[in-house]
Amino acid sequence: MASILYICVRPERGAAEAEHTSFSRGLGVSELDQLDLVSEPITSEILDRHEGFVIGGSPFNVTDAVKTPLQERVEADLERVAARALDGAASAFFTCFGIGVVTRMLGGALTLAHPESTRATEIRTTDAAASDPVFGPSAPAMRVFTAHKESATDVPPAATLLATNDDCPVQAYRVGEKLYAAQFHPEPTPRDFADRMTFYRNNGYFAAAQFAAVEGEVLAASVTGAELLGRFAQLCTSSDR
């Protein structure tokens, strides 16, 4: 099995630990290396040691008008991971906040015009995704969890759009053969996502007074995004890497 590293970008420890568990389950691994990027920077040695990277979500936004030195360092470190995947030295799957970092790095633009509330939604795979080893088998559509304020205005230069929907046109794309970026959260089960809500009750992803109603809708949802992670894990171990 290839060495895959989960990179945490959440300051909230409880949410980060639960997210690590969710990614472990989705990737189908009993042990998943992890790096808390909020607490320590990534090093060249860590980059060289792993063949795959999965990047979790964060309450950070690339479009934040004011950023702390911590957020600026985190964004720079995520760009180092993306650069390694662009070079073909490793595979990487960015989610949530991470797609904003990659989009900006590639010269794309971000917008606040396509937010999605905390919910399960359907996304459609594109024609270009048909031959993709991670997204292709999920055609023509899948249900995933979303909760975000910013998104890519359009697919950035050199990227291939893999998934879309009417609410947020850029749901996922691939750059080259080994860099994936998704706006949605592929890893959580309904229970996982409902538990995560408790950490972000007052972050503006949903009305705090509607917590119980939103939680009920989340728990009743059926999602299939985790199957993407299982295929990503296979990509990391493929013989033609």
> What mean pLDDT comes out for the span 211-217?
96
Greatest Cα-to-Cα distance within the chain, rounded to the nearest angstrom: 51
What digits encode the pLDDT tens for the residues 34-54?
999 999 999 999 999 999 999
Burial of 53 (0-12, 13-18, 19+ CB in 10 A): buried
Mean pLDDT of all residues in the chain? Answer: 95
What digits encode the pLDDT tens for the residues 97-129?
999 999 999 999 999 999 999 999 999 999 999
Contact 1, 182 (CB under 8 A): no
pLDDT of residue 157: 93
Q: Is the peptide bond before 186 cis (omega within 30 degrees of 0)?
A: no
Beta bridge partners of 167: none
Positive/negative CA dihedral, 21, 24, 26, 29: negative
Residue 64: CB atoms within 10 Å? 14
pLDDT of residue 210: 95
Half-sphere exposure of 196 (CA within 13 A, CB side): 31
CATH number of 4-237: 3.40.50.880
> What mean pLDDT comes out for the span 123-139?
98
pLDDT of residue 241: 41
Residue 141: CB atoms within 10 Å? 13
Assigned token pair, 143 = 């249900």
pLDDT of residue 240: 44
> What mean pLDDT comes out for the span 137-147?
97
Assigned token pair, 196 = 């995560």
Closest residue by Cα to residue 225 from 167, 157, 170, 172 = 172
pLDDT of 222 higher than 90: yes
d(C-alpha 172, C-alpha 164), whole Å: 7
d(C-alpha 29, C-alpha 73), whole Å: 29
What digits encode the pLDDT tens for the residues 151-186?
999 999 999 999 999 999 999 999 999 999 999 999
Contact 112, 63 (CB under 8 A): yes
State the pLDDT confidence band at 1, using cuts at 50, 70 and 90: low
- Segment holding 86, helix H or strand E: helix 69-86
Assigned token pair, 101 = 């970092």
pLDDT of residue 30: 86
**Share of residues in the chain with pLDDT > 70 (%):** 98
Domain ranges in the chain are 4-237
pLDDT of residue 237: 85
Assigned token pair, 77 = 């470190």
d(C-alpha 208, C-alpha 63), whole Å: 23
